[in-house]
Amino acid sequence: MARRARSTSTVRPIEHLSLVDRVTDELRRAILVGDILPGSAVSIVELCEQFDVSHIPVREALRRLESEGIVSLRPGRSALVASLSVQDLTDIYRLRRIIEGDLVERAVAQMTDERIAEAEDALEDYVAIEREPAALTAAHHHFHAVLLEDVMGATDLRVLELLWHTADRYLHLLMGELDVAPEAREHRISEHRTILEHARARDAAQTREAWVAHLDASEDALRAALEARTAALEA
């Protein structure tokens, strides 16, 4: 049997994909922590010089961040970092309540003891982290994702990751104004414990209610911090 002719089409080498991933991660980090400020323009040429790479991985990284709503590409050779706004924050949490509320109610209906144990471990990891934003958000998302995992399809995950990444910008940039008092941090942790208690009891309706209440509280805290920061900048 004759060997099939080798396809003339090519794929990008792994090294190139890894480079794009690294540029994307570093750009996201710089934007999340405020090294690149909301509303500022970034030059593709300057980014190429800073990363010591060609324009190809930089443009691809910016396209990925644009799909996450973090930047918007502009005509020419620059991109604009998305500003923080109350309306954007409201939209993010409105969608999260709809999607996550539905998912968690269905998830609890078929929750296993193994999944509960995994969620307990994830919560303890989250509680152990103090105020380092990257580690805090990663552990926070892991706890939520564990509880939703059994009913979360690929599309659900893509949409939620987009919403989570977008919400992370607010958490990172406003961390200084959040959970300043010890009781605020304890209340945030207790919200997660309540979610887990209802899930352990297999009470789907109560778990959804606690989950949505947690999202409500998070949105309220972020909105207050954002409005305080805006007022301070305008003063």
Its pTM surpasses 0.85: no
Domain 86-234, what fold? Four Helix Bundle (Hemerythrin (Met), subunit A) (1.20.120)
Q: What percentage of the chain has pLDDT greater than the value 90?
A: 60
Query: What pLDDT score was predicted for residue 178?
Result: 73
Is residue 57 a contact partner of residue 19, using CB atoms and an 8 Å limit? yes
Token look-up 């297999």 returns 202
> Which residues contact residue 192 at a Cβ distance below 8 angstroms, ignoring those fewer than 6 apart?
123, 126, 143, 214
Q: What percentage of the chain has pLDDT greater than the value 70?
A: 90
Give the span between the Cα atoms of 47 and 14, in whole angstroms: 22
Residue 23 has pLDDT above 80, yes or no: yes
Query: Which of 80, 75, 62 is CA-nearest to residue 26?
Result: 62
Rounded mean pLDDT, 192-209: 97
Per-residue pLDDT band at 152 (split at 50, 70, 90): very high
* 18 vs 4 pLDDT, higher one: 18
Instruction: Quick: pLDDT tens for 109-132.
Output: 999 999 999 999 999 999 998 767
Report the mean per-residue pLDDT for the chain.
87
Domain at 14-81, CATH class: mainly alpha
* 134 vs 150 pLDDT, higher one: 150
Query: What pLDDT score was predicted for residue 17?
Result: 58
Residue 7 has pLDDT above 80, yes or no: no
Give the span between the Cα atoms of 182 and 232, in whole angstroms: 24
Instruction: Quick: pLDDT tens for 87-112.
Output: 999 999 999 999 999 999 999 999 99
Query: What pLDDT score was predicted for residue 206?
Result: 98
Query: What pLDDT score was predicted for residue 180?
Result: 62
Residue type, 205: A
**One-letter-per-residue 3-state SS of the chain:** CCCCCCCCCCCCCHHHHHHHHHHHHHHHHHHHCCCCCCCCEEEHHHHHHHHCCCHHHHHHHHHHHHHCCCEEEECCCEEEECCCCHHHHHHHHHHHHHHHHHHHHHHHCCCCHHHHHHHHHHHHHHHHCCCCHHHHHHHHHHHHHHHHCCCCCHHHHHHHHHHHHHHHHHHHHCHHHCCCCHHHHHHHHHHHHHHHHHHHCCCHHHHHHHHHHHHHHHHHHHHHHHHHHHHHHHC
Domain ranges of the chain: 14-81, 86-234
Query: What pLDDT score was predicted for residue 131?
Result: 67
Residue 14 has pLDDT above 50, yes or no: no
Residue 69 has pLDDT above 90, yes or no: no
Give the span between the Cα atoms of 205 and 157, in whole angstroms: 22
- Let me know if the fold of 14-81 is the same as that of 86-234: no
